[in-house]
């Protein structure tokens, strides 16, 4: 257990650029406090001691805002950044050197008996506010984008974004743990493809040489009442993600 606690302490300096000295980390990092209390409560839980592990878990929740059931199995080097609102269920399993941000839930989907919470591999990153629900398996080096809801299993070395979560492969590129701003926007890619398809169809219709005035399927009306075509419309701001 001592080796695991040392790994939990050292990982803070690797993952958080705001960590300046060991005194600050020991006294001001609720994620470290929560995981340390969990190690002790989990040890008591495995001994079959009643009530006391849950009381320690409840105390940790009161002090840190992080709720970890004493039955959860957590590998070494877990870093919970900020941590307020994090919930980790009883049968959840987390591999080594995972990174979890605030508001994350590793929960179940009902009142099933037995294994009902997710299993995370090594080096998994779960972004702020993400929800991973059910008895599903996330492979090693998986990245979950902030606010995503993951309900299906994810292979190793994949990035998941959206609601519900969609797998996005980053071919030939490894995402760094803290670079959530570089996550791909799958919704914008789909919208762009649909707009391109609309443009192509409109050009085909116009090429038929119909006598009727062509209908601008993609037209929009500006404040001045002027119609403009989609291909001339400024849509980069929306496709960049600000409208999604």
Summarised one tens digit per residue, pLDDT across range 51-95 is 999 999 999 999 999 999 999 999 998 999 888 999 999 999 999
Give pLDDT, residue 69: 94
Q: Which of 134, 158, 180 is the last residue of a domain?
A: 180
Q: The domain spanning residue 45 has which CATH number?
A: 2.160.10.10
Of 135, 142, 54, 137, the closest CA to residue 97 belongs to 142
Specify whether 176 is located in the same domain as 193.
Answer: no
- Under DSSP, the state recorded for 242 is I
Give pLDDT, residue 9: 87
> In whole angstroms, what is the distance from residue 44 CA to residue 38 CA?
10
Specify whether 70 is located in the same domain as 108.
Answer: yes
> In whole angstroms, what is the distance from residue 46 CA to residue 93 CA?
15
- Element of type H or E holding 79: strand 79-80
- Under DSSP, the state recorded for 18 is T
- pTM, two decimal places: 0.71
**Mean pLDDT within 219-232:** 48
Specify whether 227 is located in the same domain as 168.
Answer: no
How many domains is the chain built from? 2
The stretches of the chain forming alpha helices (DSSP H) are: 2-15, 22-28, 30-46, 52-64, 186-207, 236-237
Specify whether 151 is located in the same domain as 194.
Answer: no
Specify whether 62 is located in the same domain as 126.
Answer: yes
Q: Which of 165, 180, 195 is the last residue of a domain?
A: 180
Specify whether 173 is located in the same domain as 199.
Answer: no
Specify whether 104 is located in the same domain as 143.
Answer: yes
> In whole angstroms, what is the distance from residue 79 CA to residue 101 CA?
8
Specify whether 99 is located in the same domain as 213.
Answer: no
Q: What is the mean pLDDT of the chain?
A: 80
Q: Which of 150, 180, 210 is the last residue of a domain?
A: 180
- Whether 130 has a pLDDT exceeding 50, the answer reads yes
Specify whether 173 is located in the same domain as 191.
Answer: no
The residue range of the domain holding 15 is 2-180
Specify whether 202 is located in the same domain as 137.
Answer: no
Residue 68: strand pairing partners: 88
Summarised one tens digit per residue, pLDDT across range 151-168 is 988 888 888 888 888 877
Specify whether 42 is located in the same domain as 138.
Answer: yes
Specify whether 86 is located in the same domain as 192.
Answer: no
Summarised one tens digit per residue, pLDDT across range 167-225 is 776 544 555 555 665 666 666 777 777 888 888 888 888 887 665 555 555 555 444 45
């Amino acid at each position: 257990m001592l080796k695991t606690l040392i790994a939990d302490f050292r990982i803070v300096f690797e993952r958080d650029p705001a960590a300046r000295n060991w005194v600050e980390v020991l006294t001001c990092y609720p994620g470290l406090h929560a995981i340390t209390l969990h190690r002790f409560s989990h040890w008591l839980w495995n001994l079959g001691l009643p009530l006391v592990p849950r009381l320690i878990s409840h105390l940790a929740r009161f002090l840190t805002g992080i709720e970890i059931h004493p039955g959860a199995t957590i590998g070494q080097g877990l870093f919970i950044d900020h941590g307020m609102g994090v919930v980790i269920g009883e049968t959840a399993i987390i591999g080594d050197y995972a990174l979890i941000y605030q508001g994350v839930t590793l929960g179940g989907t009902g009142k099933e008996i037995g294994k009902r919470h997710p299993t995370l591999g090594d080096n998994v990153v779960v972004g702020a506010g993400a929800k991973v629900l059910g008895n599903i398996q996330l492979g090693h080096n998986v990245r979950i984008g902030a606010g995503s809801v993951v309900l299906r299993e994810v292979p190793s070395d994949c990035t998941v974004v959206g609601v519900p979560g969609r797998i996005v492969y980053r071919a030939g590129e490894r995402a760094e743990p803290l670079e959530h701003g570089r996550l791909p926007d799958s919704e914008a890619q789909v919208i762009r493809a649909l707009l391109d398809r609309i443009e192509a169809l409109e050009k085909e219709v116009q090429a038929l040489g119909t006598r009727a005035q062509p209908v601008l399927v993609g037209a929009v009306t500006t404040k001045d009442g002027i119609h403009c075509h989609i291909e001339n419309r400024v849509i980069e701001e929306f496709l960049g993600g600000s409208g999604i």
